Homo-oligomer: A and B are copies of this chain.
Amino acid sequence: MTGPRYTKLVDSLPATVPFVGPEDQERNAGRPFAARLGANENGFGPSPRAIAAMAAAAGEVWKYGDSTSHDLRAALAAHHGVGIENVLVGEGIDGLLGYLCRLVIEPADAVVTSEGAYPTFNYHVAGFGGVLHKVPYKDDREDPQALIAKAAEVGAKLVYLSNPDNPMGTWHDRATVEAMIAAVPEGTLMVLDEAYVEFAPEGTEARIDADDPRVIRMRTFSKAHGMAGARVGYALGAPGLIAAFDKIRNHFGMCRISQAGALAALEDRTWQAYMRLLVAGARERIGEIAEANGLQALPSATNFVAIDCGADGDFARAVLRELGELGVFVRMPFIAPQDRCIRVSVGPETELEAFAEALPKALASARAGQSR
Contacts and interface: CB of A to CB of B under 8 A. Distances in A.
Given A10-B103, A229-B257, 13 more contacts: A1-B186, A1-B213, A3-B241, A7-B106, A8-B106, A10-B104, A13-B248, A23-B70, A54-B54, A62-B226, A94-B253, A229-B256, A255-B257
26 contacts: A1-B212, A1-B213, A2-B186, A3-B238, A4-B103, A5-B104, A5-B157, A14-B247, A17-B251, A19-B251, A20-B67, A21-B252, A23-B68, A24-B66, A24-B67, A39-B64, A50-B58, A51-B58, A51-B59, A51-B61, A54-B55, A58-B261, A61-B261, A64-B229, A91-B250, A230-B255
Given A17-B246, A68-B23, A247-B127, A228 B61 contact: yes
Interface of A: 1-10, 13-15, 17-24, 27, 36, 39, 41-46, 50-51, 54-55, 57-68, 70, 91-92, 94-95, 98, 102-106, 127, 157-158, 186-189, 212-214, 222, 226-231, 238, 240-241, 243-244, 246-248, 250-258, 261
A41 B62 CA distance: 6
Contact of A229 (B13, B60, B240): B60
Chain A contact residues, majority secondary structure:
loop
Given A68-B21, A247-B15, A228 B63 contact: yes
Contacts of A2: 186-187, 213
A64 B94 CA distance: 12
Contacts of A60: 45, 229
In the complex, the 3 A-B pairs of residues with the closest C-beta atoms, listed nearest first: A229-B256, A55-B55, A54-B58
Contacts of A228: 61-64
Contact of A246 (B15, B57, B104): B15
A62 B45 contact: yes
Nearest to A221: B61
A42 B62 contact: yes
A41 B64 contact: yes
A63 B248 contact: no
A57 B41 CA distance: 15
A24 B68 CA distance: 8
A122 B107 CA distance: 24
A241 B23 contact: no
A161 to B, nearest CB: 16
Among A21, A50, A250, find the residue whose CB has the most chain B CB atoms closer than 10 A: A250
Contacts of A214: 1
A20 B68 CA distance: 9
A59 to B, nearest CB: 5
A95 B58 CA distance: 21
A10 B248 contact: yes
Given A7-B103, A15-B243, A60-B229, A252 B94 contact: yes
